[in-house]
Each structure stands twice: as structure tokens, then as C-alpha cells.
């Protein structure tokens, strides 16, 4: 039997009972004696055995030299996971790993009965596993006390931050004892994870596995290029071709999940859906049907499938491309777990080839580019599976032999074989016919213009004075001249003519397109030259070199409209006013008399009118005083409010 040196005896015994012969790379890395009790920041590939790894890492702190756990009122270890499924999976893994030590594990996850969780916590648990939101609720209600906590584990920390659990995590970490050991496990280590490690860990040791920088050896990546209209048909053919025991198809939206689920169910696939609109009971039933074999295909969104672990998952199909490289790695990491082989297939529409190439490059993954399996290839694969079916090689019982002889005598061997083939194909869906598209990726170097050496030169009878520019000439050459962008070289525009360079492979197409009259467009005459023109210089480049070039000077200046005229006159008037004020100040300072500005004629007329009105009013007041001295002025009565 294998001796797991450096692993606690109780855990080593559980590993042997489980059938472990060797530990994975990340499990070997965390059991190093110098890392005992240290805060760790561990990054490893998805499916590399991280749950067993942090179970081994926290055993020296939880158990020490003791053979098992003693009774504990408060938890000694807290494991935080992003999703309910992952939390329950971690609980199951730790239960068999610590079974020899007599561990008690409680789970606190959303969607479950909180009262039963509170009772389990009150009875005492050595390890608590849960999701951030539910754990924080228990802490606030005082049903989960962290005073005796020794180890805190964050599993899939990058996913928890992506899902928006930063505030919940900070609330839990701030309430935990300062002298705890903090283990942070993550498939990727972005800047947000590094910031959290600096804030909540004490001199954390970074543990990098070699597999982090290499492509997952147990996952085969394939990129299949299809037309947009054949995207769903291609998924059908991929499912039929690989015929995996369990497969998962990732979609971008809930609507896509519902559409594919309905379509595949009608096609005869045993399929279940996972999306955010399902209740916890519906999710549990769907996952259980995948585990016990009642369903073989799962169609899910990214959020709904996070933390999902299906033991026999052999095929991952990206029906919609992931948003980033981290999403690609997390999706693909659902397969190829614990040493098992898996296939990750990207369904790539023609227009998304560059995006898919960028995702693979960013994820440091090399994929095999091909077309999806055709209908004939699917049929050929069916025949291979039929010929190697175990049913044909099993030993017959006496009753089966007697019945087989009777059937052969009555119908013949050929008829019986044909009936077996029809029965075999009756329960499977027919493959789809797909259009064949090119899988060749565009070469970035060939797509650039201007890299032609020793090309063929042409002279065009129009230049800058006729408003010819290279950016306007390019589409004309591509459409009227039947040229590809890679075949167009230098374009030098002179005042009354333009010189053009084409590659040798584009000359014949160009001459055929412009015809025998050598006219390109709207009277533009084309002349083929035998060599490159001597002394060919772009006038604007020459002006730039001498510093005389003004950008946009060659373009016709727009005429000033009425608004432009008003603005210009207003600016001119303001400038003249300021100039006059400055000249007046200078004259006053020098003792020179300043000229008073004459008032405007309208101002003089208004002043004369006011003086006449005041004089007339004074005369009327004198007459009233003489006629009725002591007369009281009538006042208006106020209206009641």
C-alpha cells in the first residue's frame, strides 16, 4: 500500500481506503512541512483536487498529534464556497477524508431550511461549510460563533468575487480571529485576489503548481467553425459523434437554455436544464438525474453551472463563446477531473473566429480547428460503436441460445442482424446536414497593406487637385479594380496624377476589371508602367519634413454663415472696446485730457421726454393743492383673507 508521507495518519488511512495511490501536484505542494500553519495563496487548475488539498493542509492545525477530534461547541474550521452545489460537494469530500477522525460537519447554504442549520450548529460542528450570504446571516443572528476558529478556507475565491460576494466575504473575514490560518484557493489569480490576500492574510506564501502555466493534459480542446444558422445543428452532431456518458452545453442566456432544452428533448435526447430561474429543489432533482444516468445532457448558463461537479462528465460544449479566458477555463474545467479524460468543444460562428482565437491565446490553450462532424461521420462512428458493443461479445445463456437458434431458423441470420441494427438505431437522434466552411484563420501579416516588394506600378490620371486621396481610392480599387487589400501596395498622390503599386498576383485581375480602354472610374485613365517612377515623393510628406505642412489646408474652406459673421463682429467690437478703455487709462495717467464720449441720440430724446413729463406733473399738483387743501386721498379697502 502507498505511504502518504507528511499527511496526518487519519487522512492517509482514508485516502488508502478511497483508492488513492498518488497525490496530485497541488496536494503534494501543500503538505510540505515548512508550510504548516502558514497562510497560503494556492492557484491550480480546475479539477486538480483542491478540496483534498486544503483538507490535507488544515489537518495539522485542527488535529495536531491527536488521532481524532474532541467535542467542540464552536467550529474550528470554516470553508466558504461560491455556490450551493460546490459547498455540498466540499462537505461530502471532507466527510470521507476526515471520517477516521470522527469529524462533525455542518452546512449553511442558501435555499435550505435555516432552522435545521441552526440546530446543527447548536449541537456542535468541527467544520462548517457554506456560501457567503448564508454564513453572514448566521453570524449576524449569533447562531454561528467564530471565537475558536483556527482555519478559514476560501474555495474558488475568484468566482466569489465575480459573483459579487466581496462585501459578504469582508464581513466574515473581519469577524474571524486574527491568529487564524487563512487558505485561499483559486483557479486564477487576478489583481482582486491579490488585493484580498494582502488585506486578510499574514505573509501569505504563494503556491504555484507547474500545471497552472500549462494546458490541462486531460482536456482536449477543439474549435469547430460553423455558419451562424448551423450553430444548433452542430451541437446536435457533436453530441451524437462523441456520445459521452454525461455532457454539458453552455449558453449565454436563459432564453437560449430554454430553447435548446425544448429542441433537444424533442429530438430524443435525455436532457435537463440549469438556469437561475430554477428553485433549489428543481436544481437538486436535475443534478441527481445526471448523476444516476436518467439524463445525459445538461444545458446551463455560466452562473448556474459554477461549482458544478459531475463525476462522469466527458464532454463540454461551448454553444455560445465565453466572455473571457477565465470563463473558458472554468467551463472546460468541469471535465478532465481527477485524472479522467475530457473534451472541450467551442462552436465558433464564422464571424467570431478572431474572438475565439483571442480567447484561446489569452487562456494559453492550443485547440484543433476543424469542421463539426458531418452526418456521414456520425453514421460511421455509430457503426464503430455497434461493432464494438459489449452485448455482441457477452456469453449467451441456455435460454438465449435456444431462442436465437429458433429466430435464425425462421428468419435467417441476415434478417436477424438487420433487425438488430434497426433496433440499435431506433433510440438515437438522426444527425444534421451542415454546410462546409473554411477553418483557415486569416494571417494578420497578409491582411496589412503596403508590404509588397518589387510590385507593378500604374499611373492614374487624377490627383490631389481632383480631390483624390488614398483612403477614398482604396474602396474603388477593391470593388472596381477587383483587388484584395493584401495586393494593394503604395499609393502616392501627386497634384494631378496618382501612382499605384500592385502585387503580381493582383495585376491580371486588375487589367481584366478595367477592360481594354484602361479606364478605372469616371474618366480616370490608367497607364501601366515598366518600372517604379524615379523621384517619387508625396507632396504632403515633403511639406511635413520642411515644417510647412498644415493639416487640412488642401481642403476647401467653408464659407462663413450668418452665425459665424455675428460672432466675428461681436469679438471685433469687444476687442475695440478694450483697446479704447486702455488708451483712456493711459491718457489719464499721463495727465492728458480724455475725450468724453458723446451720448447717443436716442438717449438724448428719452432724457428730454422724462424732463417734460416731470414739469407737467408739477404744474398739476400745484393746481390740486390750491383747489382742495385738506382733501383726503381715497384708499382702496383691503379684501379680507
CATH of the domain at 526: 3.30.70.330
Which residues face 298 on adjacent strands? 248, 272
Q: How far apart are the first and last CA of the chain?
A: 105
Check whether residue 205 and residue 235 sit in a common domain. Answer: no
Whether 496 maps to a domain, the answer reads yes
Sign of the CA dihedral with 473 first, then 476, 477, and 483 last: positive
The residue among 189, 213, 237 that closes a domain is 213
Contacts of 316 (CB under 8 A, 6+ apart): 247, 248, 250, 331, 332, 334, 335, 342, 343, 344, 345
Helix pair 9-18, 50-62: axis angle to 10 deg: 150
**What pLDDT sits at residue 559?**
42
- Which phi and psi angles does 502 have, rounded to 5°? -125, 150
H-assigned helices in 503-599: 504-514, 539-546, 562-589
pLDDT band at 315 (very low <50, low <70, confident <90, very high): very high
Residue 446 lies in a domain: no
| Grid coordinates given for 47 | 479539477
- pLDDT value at 627 more than 60: no
User: In Å, how far are 46, 534, 584 from 590, measured between CA atoms?
Assistant: 88, 69, 10
User: CA–CA separation, 464 vs 461, rounded Å?
Assistant: 11
| Residue 632: pLDDT over 60 | no
pLDDT attached to residue 43: 84
pLDDT of residue 50: 85
Residues 230 and 174 occupy one common structural domain: no
Same domain, 177 and 301: no
Q: Is the domain of 134 the same as that of 154?
A: yes
- pLDDT > 70: what percent of the chain? 82
pLDDT band at 215 (very low <50, low <70, confident <90, very high): low
Residues 131-167 have pLDDT tens digits of 999 999 999 999 999 999 999 999 888 778 877 888 8
Task: Tell me how far apart the alpha carbons of residues 329 and 314 are, in angstroms, rounded to a whole number.
Answer: 15
Ranked by mean pLDDT, the top range of 271-280, 328-337, 345-354 is 345-354
Please give the average per-residue pLDDT across 279-286, as a whole number. 81
Q: Which residue has the higher pLDDT, 272 or 451?
A: 272
What confidence category does residue 343 fall into, taking pLDDT thresholds of 50, 70 and 90? Answer: very high
Q: What's the rounded Cα separation, in Å, for the pair 42 and 272?
A: 34
Residue 434 lies in a domain: no
Q: What's this model's pTM, rounded to 2 decimal places?
A: 0.59
Same domain, 333 and 256: yes
Given a contact cutoff of 8 angstroms between Cβ atoms, the answer to whether 53 and 185 are in contact is yes
DSSP 497: -
Pair 173, 30 in one domain: yes
Q: How confident is the model at residue 242 (pLDDT cuts 50, 70, 90)?
A: very high
Give yes or no: residues 182 and 223 share one domain: no
Cell numbers for 578, please give them.
478694450
Percent of the chain exceeding pLDDT 90 equals 24
Dihedral sign for Cα atoms in the order 194, 200, 203, 204? negative
Whether 574 maps to a domain, the answer reads: no
Angle 166-175/191-200 helices, nearest 10 degrees?
20
Burial of 311 (0-12, 13-18, 19+ CB in 10 A): exposed
In this structure, the strands spanning 297-301 and 246-251 are parallel
Give the span between the Cα atoms of 203 and 104, in whole angstroms: 31
Q: What is the CA radius of gyration of the chain?
A: 42
Is residue 46 one of the residues assigned to a domain? Answer: yes
Q: What is the pLDDT of residue 545?
A: 57
Q: Find the largest Cα–Cα distance for the chain.
A: 152
Q: Is residue 395 part of a domain?
A: no
Planar angle of CA 500, 505, 506, nearest 5 degrees: 45
- Looking at residue 447, its pLDDT comes to 45
Q: How many CB atoms lie within 10 A of CB 105?
A: 19
Q: What is the pLDDT of residue 291?
A: 86
Q: Residue 152 maps to which CATH number?
A: 3.40.50.300
* pLDDT higher than 90, residue 310: no
The pLDDT of 611-619, averaged and rounded, is: 70
How far CA 58 is from CA of 54, 94, 224, 461, in Å, comes to 6, 11, 43, 82
What's the pLDDT tens digit per position in 564-614?
A: 566 667 777 777 777 676 666 555 555 555 555 555 666 777 778 877 777
Same-domain status, 320 and 348: yes
Residue 95 and residue 124 share a domain: yes
Of 98-112, 201-215, 390-404, 592-606, which gets the smallest average pLDDT? Answer: 592-606
Residue at 571 is within a domain: no
49: left (phi over 0), alpha (psi -120 to 50) or beta: left
* Alpha carbon 394 to chain centroid, angstroms: 49
Of 354, 378, 356, nearest to 367 by C-alpha is 356
Q: How far from the centroid of its chain's Cα atoms is residue 595's Cα?
A: 76
Cell numbers at 364, concatenated: 494559453
pLDDT of 460 > 80? The answer is yes
Judge whether 598 lies within some domain: no
Residue 125 above 90 pLDDT? yes
The pLDDT score that the predictor gives to residue 543 is: 57
pLDDT at 307 over 70: no
At 287-299, the pLDDT tens digits run 888 888 889 999 9
Helix (H, G, I), strand (E, B) or coil at 241: helix
- Strands (DSSP E) contained in 386-461 are 456-460
Q: How are beta strands 488-493 and 498-502 bridged, if at all?
A: antiparallel
Question: What local confidence, expressed as pLDDT, does residue 141 receive?
Answer: 92
Q: Which of 45-59, 366-380, 384-398 has the highest mean pLDDT?
A: 366-380
Instruction: Give the whole-angstrom CA distance, residue 204 versus residue 38.
Output: 7
Domain that holds residue 269: 219-380
81-124 pLDDT per residue, tens: 988 888 888 999 999 999 999 999 999 998 788 999 999 999 99
Separation of alpha carbons 44 and 50, rounded Å: 8
Is 226 found in the same domain as 171? Answer: no
Q: Tell me which of 150 and 199 has the higher pLDDT.
A: 150
* Range of 355-369, 472-486, 561-575 with top mean pLDDT: 355-369
Q: How many domains does the chain have?
A: 3
For the chain, what is the mean pLDDT?
81
Amino acid at each position: 500500500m502507498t505511504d502518504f508521507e507528511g499527511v496526518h495518519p487519519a487522512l492517509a488511512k482514508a485516502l488508502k481506503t478511497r483508492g488513492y495511490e498518488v497525490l496530485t501536484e497541488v496536494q503534494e505542494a501543500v503538505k510540505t512541512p515548512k508550510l504548516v500553519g502558514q497562510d497560503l495563496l494556492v492557484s491550480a487548475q480546475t479539477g486538480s483536487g483542491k478540496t483534498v488539498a486544503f483538507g490535507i493542509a488544515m489537518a495539522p492545525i485542527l488535529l495536531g498529534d491527536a488521532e481524532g477530534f474532541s467535542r467542540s461547541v464552536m467550529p474550528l474550521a470554516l470553508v466558504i464556497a461560491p455556490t450551493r452545489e460546490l459547498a455540498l460537494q466540499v462537505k461530502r469530500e471532507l466527510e470521507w477524508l476526515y471520517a477516521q477522525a470522527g469529524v462533525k460537519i455542518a452546512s449553511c447554504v442558501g435555499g435550505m431550511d435555516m432552522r435545521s442549520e441552526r440546530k446543527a450548529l447548536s449541537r456542535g460542528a468541527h467544520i462548517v461549510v457554506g456560501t457567503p450570504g448564508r454564513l453572514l446571516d448566521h453570524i449576524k443572528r449569533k447562531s454561528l460563533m467564530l471565537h475558536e476558529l483556527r482555519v478559514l478556507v476560501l474555495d474558488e475565491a475568484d468566482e466569489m468575487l465575480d459573483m459579487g460576494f466581496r462585501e459578504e466575504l469582508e464581513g466574515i473575514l473581519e469577524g474571524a480571529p486574527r491568529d487564524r490560518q487563512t487558505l485561499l484557493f483559486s483557479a486564477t489569480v487576478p489583481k482582486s485576489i491579490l488585493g484580498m490576500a494582502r488585506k486578510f492574510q499574514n505573509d501569505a506564501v504563494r503556491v504555484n503548481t507547474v500545471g497552472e502555466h500549462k494546458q490541462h493534459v486531460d482536456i482536449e480542446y477543439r474549435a469547430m467553425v460553423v455558419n451562424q444558422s448551423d450553430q444548433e445543428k452542430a451541437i446536435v452532431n457533436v453530441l451524437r459523434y462523441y456520445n459521452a456518458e454525461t455532457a454539458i452545453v453552455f449558453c449565454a442566456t436563459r432564453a437560449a437554455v430554454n430553447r435548446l432544452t425544448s429542441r433537444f428533448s424533442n429530438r430524443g435526447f435525455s436532457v435537463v436544464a440549469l438556469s437561475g430561474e430554477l428553485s433549489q429543489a428543481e436544481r437538486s432533482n436535475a443534478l441527481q438525474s445526471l448523476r444516476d444516468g436518467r439524463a445525459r445532457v445538461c444545458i446551463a448558463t455560466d452562473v448556474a453551472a459554477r461549482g458544478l461537479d459531475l463525476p462522469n462528465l466527458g464532454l463540454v460544449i461551448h454553444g455560445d463563446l465565453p466572455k473571457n479566458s477565465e470563463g473558458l477555463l472554468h467551463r472546460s474545467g468541469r471535465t478532465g477531473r481527477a485524472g479522467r479524460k475530457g473534451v472541450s468543444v467551442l462552436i465558433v460562428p464564422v464571424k467570431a473566429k478572431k474572438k475565439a482565437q483571442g480567447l484561446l491565446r489569452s487562456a494559453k490553450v492550443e485547440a484543433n480547428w476543424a469542421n463539426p462532424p458531418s452526418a456521414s461521420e456520425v453514421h460511421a462512428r455509430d457503426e464503430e460503436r455497434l461493432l464494438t458493443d459489449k452485448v455482441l461479445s457477452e456469453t449467451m445463456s441456455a435460454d438465449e441460445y435456444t431462442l436465437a437458434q429458433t429466430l435464425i431458423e425462421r428468419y435467417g441470420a441476415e434478417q436477424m442482424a438487420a433487425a438488430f441494427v434497426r433496433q440499435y438505431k431506433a433510440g438515437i437522434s438522426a444527425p444534421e446536414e451542415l454546410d462546409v466552411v473554411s477553418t483557415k484563420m486569416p494571417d494578420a501579416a497578409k491582411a496589412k497593406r503596403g508590404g509588397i516588394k518589387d510590385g507593378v506600378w500604374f499611373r492614374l490620371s487624377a490627383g490631389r487637385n481632383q480631390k483624390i486621396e488614398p483612403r477614398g481610392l482604396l474602396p474603388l480599387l477593391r470593388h472596381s479594380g477587383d483587388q484584395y487589400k493584401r495586393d494593394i501596395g503604395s499609393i502616392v498622390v501627386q497634384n494631378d496624377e496618382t501612382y499605384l503599386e500592385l502585387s503580381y498576383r493582383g495585376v491580371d485581375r486588375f487589367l481584366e476589371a478595367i477592360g481594354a480602354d484602361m479606364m478605372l472610374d469616371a474618366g480616370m485613365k490608367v497607364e501601366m508602367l515598366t518600372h517604379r517612377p524615379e523621384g517619387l515623393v508625396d507632396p504632403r510628406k515633403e511639406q511635413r519634413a520642411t515644417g510647412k505642412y498644415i493639416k487640412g489646408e488642401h481642403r476647401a474652406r467653408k464659407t462663413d454663415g450668418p452665425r459665424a459673421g455675428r460672432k466675428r463682429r461681436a469679438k471685433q467690437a469687444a476687442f475695440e472696446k478694450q483697446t479704447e478703455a486702455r488708451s483712456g487709462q493711459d491718457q489719464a495717467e499721463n495727465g492728458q485730457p480724455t475725450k468724453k464720449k458723446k451720448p447717443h441720440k436716442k438717449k438724448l430724446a428719452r432724457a428730454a421726454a422724462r424732463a417734460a413729463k416731470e414739469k407737467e406733473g408739477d404744474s398739476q399738483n400745484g393746481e390740486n393743492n390750491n383747489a382742495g387743501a385738506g382733501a383726503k386721498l381715497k384708499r382702496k379697502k383691503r379684501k379680507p383673507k
